[in-house]
Amino acid sequence: MNCRHCHTPLRHPFLDLGHAPPSNAYLTAADLARPERYYPLRLWVCEECWLVQTEDYAEAGELFDAEYAYFSSTSSSWLEHARRYSQQMLETLELGASRLVIEVASNDGYLLKNFVAAGVPCLGIEPTASTADAAERLGIPVLREFFGEALGQRLAGEGRQADLLIGNNVFAHVPDINDFSRGLKAALKSGGTLTLEFPHLLRLIEQVQFDTVYHEHFSYLSLYSAQRILEEAGLRVFDVEELRTHGGSLRLFACHAEDSRGTAPSVAAVLDEEQRAGLRMLATYREFQARADRVKDELLAFLIEQKRAGRRVLAYGAAAKGNTILNYGGVKLDLLPCVFDAAPSKQGKYMPGSHIPIHPAAALEQMQFDYLLILPWNIADEVTRQLAHLAEAGVRFVTAVPHLEIR
């Protein structure tokens, strides 16, 4: 396999999680009687551009189909994050009725609804039917297509280039990141602003966030690698913000290469931090597998210990990251009998691979148990606040990453 950006042959493995089904391929009861498709889940690092990437097996159409079950609006903290960003952009860019905002991977309209409410024309681009339906019910026009250079050129030809072009947690999800970046270039109006958010590879390595690895994430990005990719497409990063979302993310602000805006000091500061952390040293990547294995082993030891002691552990949040760690650890119903989730799209289904049933969050009130394992550790504070009454009743909350923590 060659690097999906610079085409250098990939020779350096970063992480091997064995074989797993797609992490968002939730199962129905009927699916349990059918064969389940598994793919290798392995990451490599490119020694030329330092892009970390999955080994190619799964096609995007198999991962983001009509049954795709991730709805952004399920998390109240993510909705608030989107609201604050929208307000910032409305004020900073002075967006109004004569401007156009386009979001690539607009999901269920969690973000664009803020611009609709402010009277700013919007367009969502979202290939998954279930989430596109939800966005259209909010009055957001949606193109149900995968984004790339061809669609970007088409939008430009139709006079629909964006004053603000948004890509939240999509840059890492595209198999052809060069084609996608050229599409961003084409769809961005002269003088327009592009913002991209994605989990920061630096935080993944620092905090052993190996459970954020799944097939839908084709790339794992540093500022250094993202900047190189965008530059080749004719775009320039002029500012960057470090965010707490998803365990530590970056928000890049980019423009056309010829744009007159200056580059903020934050860009050099983050690049320097990455350099000091060893993100352009192979030793950093060679050490990661053992660190990930320790996290997995700690969780397994905890679950087995509670089973032997007769204590009951249930889980909250049927998140993709939860599927990664459960499947890598081989966790089944005997150690974790069920998981609870607030998203109606997942309730009544089963976790891929482990086949653990997913119940409505409200059903927690009828259960007797000792520990609640919060699989989406990035929203653990939100969950523990919502379920504080369980702690008062003696239930203890548990997270597994970056190490086992019993709250």
Domain ranges of the chain: 72-285, 306-406
The candidate with the shortest Cα–Cα distance to 379, out of 295, 300, 322, is 322
Tokens of 132: 């596109």
> pLDDT tier at 72 (50, 70, 90 boundaries)?
confident
Q: Has residue 68 got a pLDDT over 70?
A: no
Task: Kindly state the average pLDDT of the residues 118-139.
Answer: 95
Identify the bridge partners of residue 101 per DSSP, sorted by sequence position. Answer: 122, 164
CB atoms within 10 A of CB 232: 15
Is 123's pLDDT higher than 90? yes
Lowest mean pLDDT among 47-61, 321-335, 378-392: 47-61
pLDDT of residue 62: 58
State mean pLDDT over 20-44: 95
Confidence of residue 95 (pLDDT cuts 50, 70, 90): very high
SS3 label, residue 172: helix
Backbone region of residue 348 per phi and psi (left: phi > 0; alpha: psi in -120 to 50; beta: other values)? left
Per-residue pLDDT for 255 more than 90?
yes
Band of residue 56 on the pLDDT scale cut at 50, 70, 90: confident
pLDDT of 69 strictly over 80: no
pLDDT tens, position by position, 258-277: 999 999 999 999 999 999 99
- Given a cut of 70, whether residue 57 has pLDDT beyond it is no
Please provide the average confidence, as pLDDT, over all residues in the chain: 95
Closest to 318 measured CA to CA, from 295, 335, 293, 343: 343
Instruction: Kindly state the tokens that stand for 93.
Output: 């860019």
Give me the residues paired with residue 125 across strands. 104, 143
The whole-angstrom separation of Cα 174 and Cα 391 is 40
**Mean pLDDT, residues 365-385:** 95
**Which pLDDT belongs to residue 63?**
56
For 271-279, the CB contacts below 8 A with 24+ separation are 271/223, 271/224, 271/227, 273/202, 274/202, 274/222, 274/223, 274/224, 275/224, 277/202, 277/205, 277/206, 279/50, 279/201, 279/202, 279/205, 279/222, 279/224
E-strand stretches of 135-248: 142-143, 162-168, 188-199, 219-220, 235-243
CA dihedral 132, 163, 99, 242 (to 10 degrees): 70
The answer on pLDDT for 29 being more than 70 is: yes
Of 68 and 326, the structure prediction assigns the larger pLDDT to: 326
* Token duo for residue 308: 């032997």
pLDDT band for 179, please (50, 70, 90 cuts): very high
Mean pLDDT of 54-64: 65
Q: Could you tell me which residues are beta bridge partners of residue 40?
A: 19
Using pLDDT thresholds of 50, 70 and 90, give the confidence band for residue 65.
low
Domain 306-406 superfamily per CATH: NAD(P)-binding Rossmann-like Domain (3.40.50.720)
Region 277-287 average pLDDT: 98
Other Cβ atoms within 10 Å of 365 Cβ, number = 9
Q: Does domain 72-285 have CATH number 3.40.50.150?
A: yes
Residues 208-254 have pLDDT tens digits of 999 999 998 999 999 999 999 999 999 999 999 999 998 999 999 99
The identity of residue 198, as a single letter, is F
Query: Which tokens hold the place of 213?
Result: 């690895």
Beta strands in 48-94 (DSSP E): 52-54
Q: What is the tens place of the pLDDT at every residue in 299-311?
A: 999 999 999 999 9
DSSP character at residue 110 = T
Bridge partners (DSSP) listed for residue 167:
104, 196
CA pair distance 280, 283, nearest whole angstrom: 9
Mean pLDDT of 116-123: 98
Spatial separation of the C-alpha atoms in residues 135 and 241, rounded to whole Å: 27
Q: What is the structure's pLDDT at 67?
A: 56
CB 125 within 8 A of CB 155: no
pLDDT band at 313; cut points 50, 70, 90: very high
Which positions ≥6 away from 65 have C-beta within 8 Å? 128
